[in-house]
């Protein structure tokens, strides 16, 4: 369960002081502050002051209250709301209202057969779906399940095509600066919205939140890209935005990737992004391809627990990587630019 799911779940049960969230949850102070800002920006939570303390709670609007019910009900049935409310899960969940085989689901959703099968098994194991036929495998929704009833009510209310899951794109700007540069920004933006990573220092204003990260020396865009590609937020958001900015020096990126033994990972990622939307010259990807190392590397170890979707084979063979990426989230990030 990620931080935003855990925090929203706790707040769904009862309001909390921010200090209580920091004490109770296994996430850094910075992560909790950042996640609270994200939830507040999306309208899922509100903050109020009470006896000198900041209290956070779920918003009183319909969407937040319905999500609150869904989160609590999911937990009571031993279902991870993070997996349940993923875009791919909800798309397949919605398709189970029609009688379809797994191959038909694959065709109608655009997901790989293995990804469809993994989600269907998750829904079956959660008792949210019922096996109607084994060969070919046909699964239908368990219409009597309390959680399915809540999801159906919520989706029908939001029939204006708005998504009911958390957006993958992150609504703040991220600034990697030296201490001197941060000092200057503090004076410039003291009336805005900003926070400094790992300090818990946060100021709220009406403009977009600026997250300042301090580094000893000025970090090049290429080095920043290589640090972000190792993180979930990086591969699903920041790295995509950097590529789209067209400011990357790919020769410098290649040299640094080679120095840091990351040619396989970077080349694989650029290949995946380019297959979704042409943003990188073929010659760039070819240069990385010609220098793939013989040592197999794992790409995004943090996501290994979620397994694979079945789409990875051609990239793993081409780039000599053990690949653990959520293609749906990366696709969403590409579409958002």
pLDDT digits (tens, 9 = 90+) for 44-59: 889 988 888 889 999 8
Cα→Cα distances 75→68, 80, 126, 175, Å: 11, 7, 11, 37
Q: In the prediction, which pLDDT does 105 show?
A: 86
pLDDT at 274: 94
Specify the pLDDT at position 337. 75
The tens digit of pLDDT for each residue in 161-199 reads: 333 333 344 456 667 777 877 887 887 777 777 888 777
User: In the prediction, which pLDDT does 225 show?
Assistant: 92
Q: What are the backbone angles phi and psi of residue 199, rounded to the nearest 5°?
A: -110, -25
Query: Half-sphere exposure of residue 21, counting CA atoms within 13 Å on the CB side?
Result: 32
The contacts of residue 148 (CB under 8 Å, 6+ apart) are 128, 141, 142
Burial class (CB in 10 A: 0-12, 13-18, 19+), 296: exposed
Specify the pLDDT at position 3. 83
Topology classification of domain 3-60 = Arc Repressor Mutant, subunit A (1.10.10)
The pLDDT of residue 156: 66
**Separation between Cα atoms, residue 240 and residue 234, nearest integer Å:** 8
Q: Given 1.10.286.10, 2.40.37.10, 1.20.210.10, 1.10.10.10, which CATH number is that of 80-157?
A: 1.10.10.10
Low-confidence stretches of the chain (pLDDT < 50) are 159-170
* Claim: this prediction has a pTM higher than 0.75: no
The pLDDT of residue 283: 95
């Amino acid at each position: 369960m990620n931080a935003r799911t855990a925090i929203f779940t706790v707040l769904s049960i009862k309001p909390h002081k921010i200090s209580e969230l920091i004490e109770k949850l296994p996430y850094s102070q910075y992560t909790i502050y950042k996640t609270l800002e994200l939830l507040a920006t999306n309208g899922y939570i509100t903050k109020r002051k009470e006896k000198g303390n900041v209290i956070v709670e779920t918003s009183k609007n319909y969407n937040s209250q319905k999500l609150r019910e869904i989160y609590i009900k999911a937990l009571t049935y031993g279902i991870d709301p993070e997996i349940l409310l993923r875009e791919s899960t909800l798309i397949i969940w919605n398709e189970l209202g029609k009688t379809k085989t797994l191959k038909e689901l694959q065709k109608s959703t655009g997901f790989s057969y293995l990804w469809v099968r993994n989600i269907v098994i998750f829904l079956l194991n959660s008792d949210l779906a019922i096996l109607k036929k084994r060969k070919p495998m046909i699964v239908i929704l368990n219409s009597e399940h309390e959680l399915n009833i809540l999801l159906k009510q919520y989706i029908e209310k939001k029939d204006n095509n708005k998504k009911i899951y958390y957006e993958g794109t992150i609504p703040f700007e991220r600034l990697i600066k030296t201490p001197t540069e941060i000092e200057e920004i503090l004076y410039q933006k003291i009336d805005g919205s900003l926070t400094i990573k790992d300090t818990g220092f946060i100021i709220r204003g009406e403009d977009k939140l600026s997250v300042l990260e301090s580094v000893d020396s000025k970090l090049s865009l290429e080095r920043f890209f290589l640090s972000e590609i190792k993180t979930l937020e990086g591969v699903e958001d920041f790295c995509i935005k950097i590529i789209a900015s067209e400011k990357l020096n790919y020769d410098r990126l290649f040299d640094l990737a080679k120095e840091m033994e990351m040619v396989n990972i970077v080349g694989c990622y650029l290949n995946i992004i380019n297959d979704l939307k042409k943003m990188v010259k073929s010659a760039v990807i070819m240069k990385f391809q010609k220098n793939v190392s013989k040592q197999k590397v794992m790409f995004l170890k943090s996501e290994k627990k979620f397994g694979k979707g079945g789409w990875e084979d051609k990239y793993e063979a081409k780039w000599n990587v053990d690949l653990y990426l959520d293609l749906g989230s990366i696709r969403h990030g590409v579409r958002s630019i």
